[in-house]
Amino acid sequence: MADTDQHTSPLTAVGLHPSTRHDGRRWRWGWLPSPMLIRFGIVGVINVAVDLGGFILLATGFGLSGPLANMVSFSAAIVTSYMLNNFWTFRSPGHRRGHSRRFVLFITINVIGLTISTGLVLVFMQFAEKVPAKLASIPIVFLWNYLASKYIVFRPDAKAWAAGQVLR
């Protein structure tokens, strides 16, 4: 698939690409995640551990309110996320420049994610306890963070795309 064709469907925009595979009997068609989406998912699992672990500790261990525990644990996960995404998930030659600008963008995007997460926790707490409410917010915030990170924060420059130096 050519670089210019990679965003022709909503599924490719979120990191899923059409593919075929042979299972020994017949060809199967399906959508497979890109390596970048897989790396982002692995980083996401680590961040969920930091975020959810901190949330549970603060909300149940120290008795903080749901929104306050969410803000503190989410903030700790932001720092972990930036380091892992910058140096592994979205790495490319162009990412060594503009580190400060990228960090500010990342913080901005994640403050928006924090706002979404905290709002969802508040809404979901109308129907469930703190921890299930937090768990329900994670997939929605994951999608926001991936799309914003890929297309805003860690978007490689045109030269890196043209040279094929971008990990997918």
CB-based contact 2:135 (threshold 8 Å): no
Is residue 168 one of the residues assigned to a domain?
Answer: no
Asked if residue 42 and residue 22 are part of one domain, the reply reads no
Asked if residue 118 and residue 54 are part of one domain, the reply reads yes
- For residue 17, the model assigns a pLDDT of 52
Kindly list the averaged pLDDT for each block of 10 residues, start to end, along the chain of length 168.
46 52 51 75 90 92 90 87 84 63 87 91 93 90 87 70 48
Asked if residue 127 and residue 76 are part of one domain, the reply reads yes
Is residue 164 one of the residues assigned to a domain?
Answer: no
- Mean residue pLDDT of the chain comes to 77
- For residue 138, the model assigns a pLDDT of 87
- For residue 32, the model assigns a pLDDT of 61
Asked if residue 144 and residue 133 are part of one domain, the reply reads yes
Asked if residue 90 and residue 108 are part of one domain, the reply reads yes
Asked if residue 40 and residue 20 are part of one domain, the reply reads no
- For residue 56, the model assigns a pLDDT of 93
Buried b (16+ CB within 10 A) or exposed e, 149-162: bbeebbbbbeeebe
Tokens read off for 78: 């932001």
- The string of pLDDT tens digits covering residues 127-157 is 999 889 989 998 898 889 888 988 888 876 6
Asked if residue 64 and residue 29 are part of one domain, the reply reads no
pTM score > 0.75 for this model? no
Asked if residue 134 and residue 54 are part of one domain, the reply reads yes
Tokens read off for 168: 């997918």
Tokens 């978007």 locate to: 155
What is the DSSP secondary structure assignment for residue 157, as one 8-state letter? Answer: P
- For residue 159, the model assigns a pLDDT of 52
Tokens read off for 107: 């913080």
Is residue 17 one of the residues assigned to a domain?
Answer: yes
Q: CB atoms < 10 A from the CB of 90, how many?
A: 22
Is residue 48 one of the residues assigned to a domain?
Answer: yes
Is residue 165 one of the residues assigned to a domain?
Answer: no
Asked if residue 79 and residue 91 are part of one domain, the reply reads yes
Is residue 148 one of the residues assigned to a domain?
Answer: yes
State the Cα–Cα distance between residues 76 and 70, nearest whole angstrom. Answer: 10
Asked if residue 20 and residue 74 are part of one domain, the reply reads no
CB-based contact 94:157 (threshold 8 Å): yes
Domain count within the chain: 2
Q: Which residues span the domain enclosing 21?
A: 3-33
Asked if residue 146 and residue 95 are part of one domain, the reply reads yes
- For residue 12, the model assigns a pLDDT of 53
- For residue 129, the model assigns a pLDDT of 92
Asked if residue 47 and residue 28 are part of one domain, the reply reads no
- For residue 67, the model assigns a pLDDT of 87
